[in-house]
Structure 1
Amino acid sequence: MSTSPATPEHLASDDTTHVPVIVIGGGQAGLSVSWYLGANDIDHLVVEAGTPMHQWSDTRWDNFTLVTPNWHCRLPGYAYQGPDPDGFMTRDEVVEWLRGWLDTFSPPLRTGTRVTRLSHGEDGGYELMTEGEHGPEILTCDEVVVATGGYPVPVVPTFAPTLDPAIRQLHSEEYRNSDQLADGAVLVVGSGQSGAQIAEDLHLEGRSVHLAIGTAPRVARFYRGRDCMTWLADMGLYETPAQQYPGGKAAREKTNHYVTGRDGGRDVDLRAFALEGMSLYGTLTDGRDTGLTFAPTLTSSLDKADSVYNSICADIDAHIAREGIDAPPASRYEPVWRPSTDPETLDLAAAGITTIIWAIGYRPDYRWIEASAFDGGGRPMQTRGVTGVSGLSFIGLPWMHTWGSGRFLGIDDDARHIAETIIDRGRGTAGGLRLAVGS
């Protein structure tokens, strides 16, 4: 993997620290912007706190697989060309695929360098304060692209510190496998993609699992002869701007549907897990010492998730009918288990629970950016990544433009738009963006 290309000339001298464009973050989103800037001879620098795309190996559990089909994996100048386009790469296979992409070009990349403050420069443009192996440094630029990820700060409840210290607590990004946990039962809190799949991982390892579920919807893995996400792609859902969905930009707050690509892909059916011994609860609301309380929402949450599952299938049915597609017959999910009651309390000690895994998401943290570009929730106010603050853009945000944003499927288009915007604003070399696209 090419991680340390030659230092650009403007960084060769201690007296010169100005770079026309700086991309903060060396994940696949930031490097995709770099790919387009480099293809058009735009002088720029990518600044990465760790190593390129390190989160794929550092924050995914051992049995992680993609939940989107491999054919979704496309980046500038590069697309999945393996033998199983309808399969689901494992974590290690994704890391290897990304390494192959990075070997196809040489981004001007500075690793081990964290940006601690981004502010407006005295003479226009931006000033970046950084810290790294060589101590603090100040860089300036005309354009800056923030590619640090959508929501980088793991969320844990405010009451977490009041729980019995004998019970280990970790966030989903710290989970690797069952063996790293102490003997005993495990409580997973959250039923989004990470929570549901980690609960399944532990369940398959024979652990006693308790799962507190939220409002996450679910989707069928396969329906009427194809992967559901392939149907949805054909229907154009991943390319539809967020503003055109019911509720408009509120779509960006939606939790992703839970499903898995493990063992070739299958549904995640929490009701089936309950039949096999997993204990389910509604939304966790409070806790102290070894006692937890839950909202009585288990039944309604399961019913709502199944309703979304069947609604998506119905939308696919309508598409098949409109297009006259020959496909296997339609079907509907029928519950295989129903709770007899909605449990509202749990004694961790009595249940033998020794570990809690928090899988309730992440929150934004842009306090290091001194610019009027954020709403009351601390999220960037942007359109396709471009803010109202001249020269400031974002990339890699969930629902930044479409459902595909923040996924491999939509990164190429989003990065290309950001690069085009930078060139159109005249911050780089003159001329239009060459339409060199991957896949």
Structure 2
Amino acid sequence: MTTSAHVPVAIVGGGQAGLSVSWHLSRAGIAHVVLESHTPVHAWTDSRWDNFTLVTPNWHCKLPGYVYDGPDPDGFMTRDEVVAWLQGWLQTFEAPVRTHTRVSKLVQRGEGGFALTLETPSGAELLTCDDAVVATGGYPLPVIPAYAGSLDAGVVQIHSEQYRNAEQLPDGAVLVVGTGQSGAQIAEDLHLAGRQVHLAVGNAPRVARFYRGRDCMTWLSDMGLYDRPAQQYPGGRAAIEKTNHYVTGRDGGRDVDLRQFAAEGMRLYGTLADGKDTTLRFEPTLRSALDYADSIYNSICSDIDAYIEREGIDAPPVSRYEPVWEPDAETTTMDLAAEGVTSIVWAIGYRPDYRWIEASAFDGGGRPMQTRGITSVPGLSFVGLPWMHTWGSGRFLGIDRDASHIAATITSGYHESVLQLAVGH
């Protein structure tokens, strides 16, 4: 193993969050390096399906020194448009990125700072730094249940991050498991492609795409919800740890209505509990899950109504969602072969994986213990996590603010150290 030169700051991860910290550090004159295992912002091309669109309006897209200024601020960029937008941002500055460099270990050093083990095309290296910023994303490991391995080997199984389009799956019906943003939109994508879709519905809430003349997320932004610190958010930690509301920006944006899909032939079930060979068992939770999602939908509309009335805004009249379909009975078992299901798309999320970091910065669930990205471990910070500071954290809307805070904290500590050295000298 060779030893690299010491750098003041190492940023692990070259996505938009890590590069945003780099942007601010460069302007502060702080030497640093961005360590990226692939290429910058590669996840947008590698982990999104062909018909992916943003679920937040284009005007939410703000990065350091760069905002969306295209012709459709209230529209929703496709995957390829997001990639092009990000490439335009990368051309506005020169980040010190080392591509194809994976950090396999980050260790807190007794004398201060950190030692990073790097895996590079030319071999292993050891890099030391004073400050380390972890920008690898909040949940990098796809979740697939343990019983998936006991299902019929003839059924193709993929995780949602591997899904690209209906054509990649074998002919036949498809079971999508999970109704977070990815699961609901992938189910829609397959449904629109003419596939028979079976959908295991989870406990995710939903939100109207448009309400009273505007996008709901624009109303919520005006109401200050994206700026409210996590500690002050209604419902506390239980509320912020729930799955994101499902909605879509496809074809100009619309609601994702699972009941309407069912009326059109999609088969809905409750939470998938377990399975073996070709037999699956579902919990009888479908009706309650649909009712809950609709209650959140209408509750958000009520919050917007209250804001409109409080501010005296002239807007179209109040409305509420009324169910267009109800389940006759709860189906709790399925035979994959009998239903012609030839593939399963697991869309039940991701989990954190910080086993490569040796530092006392994590809770019992393996999640970073941080305040606005700053941990109690001197010099160790995180960026790009959902709810790191506000609802906007982890989204384009909040990245610049979070990155700026991390960079300012590092810069302040760096300048203080320089001052102490000067006084001591």
2:414 aligned counterpart, secondary structure: coil
User: After superposition, where does 1:231-380 map in structure 2 within 5 Å?
Assistant: 231-380=219-368
**Which residue does 1:186 correspond to in 2?**
174
> Is the 1:42–1:429 Cα contact (8 Å) retained in structure 2?
no
**Which residue does 1:110 correspond to in 2?**
98
Structure 2: which amino acid aligns with 1:169?
Q
Unaligned runs of 5+ in 1: 1-13, 432-439
**Which residue does 2:113 correspond to in 1?**
125
Structure 1: which amino acid aligns with 2:344?
I
CA distance in 1, matches of 2:144, 2:26: 40
CA-to-partner distance for each residue in 1:223-274, whole Å, 9 max, x for gaps?
Answer: 0000000000000000111111234234442111000000000000000000
Task: Please state if 1:17 is matched with 2:5.
Answer: yes
Note the C-alpha offset of 1:149.
Answer: 0.4
Task: Please state if 1:61 is matched with 2:49.
Answer: yes
**Which residue does 1:139 correspond to in 2?**
127
> Is the 2:205–2:297 Cα contact (8 Å) retained in structure 1?
yes
CA-to-partner distance for each residue in 1:51-82, whole Å, 9 max, x for gaps?
Answer: 00000000000000000000000000000000
Question: Closer, same or farther in 2 for the Cα pair 1:86/1:293, shift >3 Å?
Answer: same
Identity of aligned residues (%): 72
Number of residues of Structure 1 aligned to a counterpart in Structure 2: 418
Task: Please state if 1:160 is matched with 2:148.
Answer: yes
Unaligned runs of 5+ in 2: 420-425
> Is the 2:4–2:125 Cα contact (8 Å) retained in structure 1?
no
CA-to-partner distance for each residue in 1:17-53, whole Å, 9 max, x for gaps?
Answer: 2000000000000000000000111000000000000
**Which residue does 1:435 correspond to in 2?**
none
> Is the 1:24–1:144 Cα contact (8 Å) retained in structure 2?
yes
> Is the 1:169–1:356 Cα contact (8 Å) retained in structure 2?
yes
**Which residue does 1:393 correspond to in 2?**
381
Note the C-alpha offset of 1:425.
Answer: 1.7
CA distance in 1, matches of 2:288, 2:40: 42
Question: Closer, same or farther in 2 for the Cα pair 1:262/1:16, shift >3 Å?
Answer: closer
Question: Closer, same or farther in 2 for the Cα pair 1:193/1:99, shift >3 Å?
Answer: same
CA distance in 1, matches of 2:290, 2:215: 22
Moved over 3 A (4+): 249-252, 427-431
**Which residue does 1:169 correspond to in 2?**
157
> Is the 1:153–1:362 Cα contact (8 Å) retained in structure 2?
yes
Task: Please state if 1:406 is matched with 2:406.
Answer: no
CA distance in 2, matches of 1:423, 1:249: 31
Note the C-alpha offset of 1:426.
Answer: 2.4
CA distance in 2, matches of 1:103, 1:222: 34
Structure 2: which amino acid aligns with 1:196?
A
TM-score by length of structure 2 reads: 0.97
Question: Closer, same or farther in 2 for the Cα pair 1:306/1:190, shift >3 Å?
Answer: same
CA-to-partner distance for each residue in 1:264-304, whole Å, 9 max, x for gaps?
Answer: 00000000000000000000001000000011000000000
CA distance in 1, matches of 2:168, 2:106: 38
1:309 aligned counterpart, secondary structure: helix
1:226 to 214, 221, 240: 214
TM-score by length of structure 1 reads: 0.94
